[in-house]
């Protein structure tokens, strides 16, 4: 048996839940360390889902054919023609009015489903939380800029960008982490602190398979953030743990309290946690903290049509991504803080200490 076939057989046992706990732990470690294996698992899961859907479609078709074969269509037609029911008689007498009414009713139902979002992305059920800046707001800001150019303002207006997300510091000297899908396709990326100051950044490393991107603040006006108050947890967090996240679904920082509901993410993805928290578009890239203030993940998506179901990439994959950054991509030392000073503090005190390390990420593209 070739090495490729052995890997396929191992992946099938993993996805079918046929591995022992020790085997599953060992394979998940290989998956986290080898992007090729991780991609192979995702591709195989997608392929098996397609096969399953095709089988279900054939089964439904066979059932419909069997039902059709059981019906004596000609006998039923003769019975209805000789002894038409009151429904048939009503249709013959008022079919034009009924057709118009039915058309209006169907149109109304479809409009309701469309505008409530029920028909949008119903199959995937997985929504990444990058927020698109409202086009009307951008047009309004451009108009304000033109008007203000006639009367010079006291402060410079900031272009809100095309997309928004959240990021947080991984070192005091300007290295920031966010989700890869937040900055994907960007011409330029800025981060803005809670004090309103914005800084230009450069994308120095990405891991699309884990949805992680590392930024470096390159703006000469940036100095330092001081001591990072939180640490990064290496071990997995238990189900039921109280958690919270901070993000920018709007210009103001928003707290999202909740708890960890599953040790795996969407469709059993072992690189993610599932959490129950009130998250919205713009939260992508935000930090996920445990109750002691340790970073345990990075928020990246939520499940549509399911109240409060959101997902975060586990912090172990962030630590691996930081370790994998090529040395020639770093213009300065990247040291990860290992000391957490937030443990034992109230939630209010924790947020006061860490808020300067959380950033609104503004993405610009053509």
Residue 122 domain-assigned (yes or no): no
Does 283 share its domain with 339? yes
Beta bridge partners of 169: 176
138 has pLDDT over 90: no
- The structure tokens listed for 278 are 């009130």
Report d(CA 25, CA 29) in Å as an integer: 6
pLDDT of residue 56: 79
pLDDT at 175: 96
Task: Give residue-wise pLDDT tens across range 258-282.
Answer: 999 999 988 888 999 999 998 888 8
Residue 224 lies in a domain: yes
Q: 271, 284, 285: which is closest to 236 by C-alpha?
A: 271
- What is the C-alpha separation between 103 and 109, in angstroms, rounded? 10
Residues 157 and 274 in one domain: yes
Cα 236 → chain centroid: 20
pTM assigned to the model: 0.60
What is the tally of structural domains in the chain?
3
User: Same domain, yes or no, for 24 and 157?
Assistant: no
Mean pLDDT of the chain: 81
Q: Is residue 280 located within the same domain as residue 321?
A: yes
Range of the domain at 41: 3-63
Same domain, 49 and 84: no
> Taking the alpha carbons of 286, 240, 230, 35 in that order, is the dihedral positive or negative?
negative
For the segment 198-204, the average pLDDT, to the nearest whole number, is: 94
Is 19 a domain residue? Answer: yes
Work out the average pLDDT over 197-211: 93
pLDDT tens digit string along 296-332? 999 998 887 777 789 999 999 999 999 999 999 998 9
Q: Are residues 235 and 347 in the same domain?
A: yes
Q: 85 and 13: one domain?
A: no
Same-domain status, 7 and 152:
no
Report the C-alpha gap between 115 and 107 in whole angstroms: 12
Same domain, yes or no: 181 and 78: no
Within a domain: 121: no
CATH number of the domain to which 136 belongs: 2.40.10.120
For the residues 286-299, what does the mean pLDDT come to?
95
Whether 142 and 223 share a structural domain:
yes
Residues 220 and 271 in one domain: yes
Q: Which residue, among 264, 288, 284, has the nearest Cα to 274 in the 3D structure?
A: 264
Burial class (CB in 10 A: 0-12, 13-18, 19+), 17: exposed
Asked if residue 251 is part of any domain, the answer here is: yes
Per-residue pLDDT, 16: 84
In a domain? residue 257: yes
Confidence (pLDDT) at 250: 86
In a domain, 293, yes or no: yes
Q: What is the pLDDT of residues 3-58, one digit of tens each?
A: 777 888 888 888 888 888 888 888 888 888 887 888 788 888 878 777 877 777 77
């Amino acid at each position: 048996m070739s090495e490729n076939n052995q890997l396929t057989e191992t992946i099938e046992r993993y996805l079918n839940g046929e591995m022992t706990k020790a085997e599953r732990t060992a394979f998940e470690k290989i998956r986290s360390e080898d992007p090729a294996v991780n991609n192979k698992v995702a591709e195989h899961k997608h392929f098996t889902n397609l096969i399953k859907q095709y089988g279900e479609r054939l089964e439904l078709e066979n059932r419909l054919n069997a039902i059709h074969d059981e019906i004596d269509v000609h006998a039923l037609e003769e019975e209805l023609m000789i002894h038409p029911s009151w429904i048939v008689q009503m249709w013959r007498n008022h079919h034009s009015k009924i057709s118009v009414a039915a058309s209006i009713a169907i149109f109304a139902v479809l409009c309701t489903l469309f505008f409530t979002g029920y028909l949008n992305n119903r199959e995937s059920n997985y929504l990444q939380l990058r927020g698109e800046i409202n086009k009307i707001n951008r047009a309004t800001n451009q108009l304000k800029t033109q008007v203000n150019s006639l009367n010079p303002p006291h402060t410079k207006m900031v272009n809100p960008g095309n997309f928004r997300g959240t990021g947080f510091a991984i070192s005091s000297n300007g290295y920031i982490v966010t989700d890869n899908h937040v900055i994907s396709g960007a011409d330029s990326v800025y981060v803005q602190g809670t004090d309103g100051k914005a800084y230009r950044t450069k994308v120095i490393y990405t891991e699309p398979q884990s949805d992680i991107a590392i930024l470096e603040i390159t703006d000469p006006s940036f100095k330092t953030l001081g001591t990072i108050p939180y640490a990064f947890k290496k071990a997995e967090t238990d189900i039921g743990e109280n958690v919270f996240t901070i993000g920018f679904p709007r210009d103001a920082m928003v707290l999202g309290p909740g708890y960890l509901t599953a040790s795996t993410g969407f469709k059993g993805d072992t690189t993610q946690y599932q959490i129950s928290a009130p998250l919205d578009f713009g939260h992508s890239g935000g930090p996920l903290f445990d109750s002691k203030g340790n970073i345990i993940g990075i928020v990246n998506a939520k499940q549509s049509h399911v109240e409060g179901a959101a997902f975060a990439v586990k912090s172990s994959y962030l630590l691996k991504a930081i370790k994998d950054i090529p040395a020639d991509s770093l213009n300065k030392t990247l040291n990860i803080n290992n000391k957490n000073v937030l443990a034992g503090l109230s939630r209010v005190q924790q947020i006061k200490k860490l808020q300067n390390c959380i950033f609104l990420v503004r993405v610009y593209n053509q």
